[in-house]
Amino acid sequence: MERIAIYPGSFDPVTNGHVDIVERGRNLFDRIIVTILCNPGKQALFSIEERMEMLRTSMQAIPGVEVAAFDGLLVDYALQRGAGAILRGMRAVSDFEYEFQMALMNRKLNREVQTVFLMTGLRWIFTSSSIIKEAARFGGNIDDMVPAVVSERLREKLGPDSGASPLGADGPLAT
């Protein structure tokens, strides 16, 4: 029987840390469905279509990976897709409480679907989509933290004058 995992997230944008989790997750699962969560409560920089395109490009060298989007309960989606696991990456202890609560809720909703945590590689432990966007907004070089397509799309989206960025000035790197 094929071992399928759902790797959910906003991926706004995808980072090399996300790619690392998928590459290592493929050692555990036959197929991984990288799935964008459609969350109307979050203000995204990139549209779902843009994120799907960046994910497909970023994951194209990894066999057994599919890119999708969904809204609704994650465990329902996992069962609909024949997945027995939800794959999650954790960077630090600060991620643990939230991820643990989500895993327990998913288990309460459906005991058939397991949550599997992978620790992010040390190289990517400090990266997050939010911090990447903030660094890019202020002209920081993020080329070695994201796939090339993401770096290119961030430059297109933010433009040469990062002061006119749609991201706002209240992020973690603002001074």
Residue positions annotated with a catalytic role: 18, 42, 91, 129
Helix and strand numbers, DSSP H then E, in the chain: 6, 5
DSSP state of 65: E
The alpha carbon of 104 is separated from its chain's Cα centroid by a whole number of angstroms, namely 20
DSSP state of 104: H
Measured at the CA of 53, the angle between CA 174 and CA 172, to 5 degrees, comes to 10
The pair phi, psi for residue 146, each rounded to 5°, is -135, 155
Contact 47, 61 (CB under 8 A): no
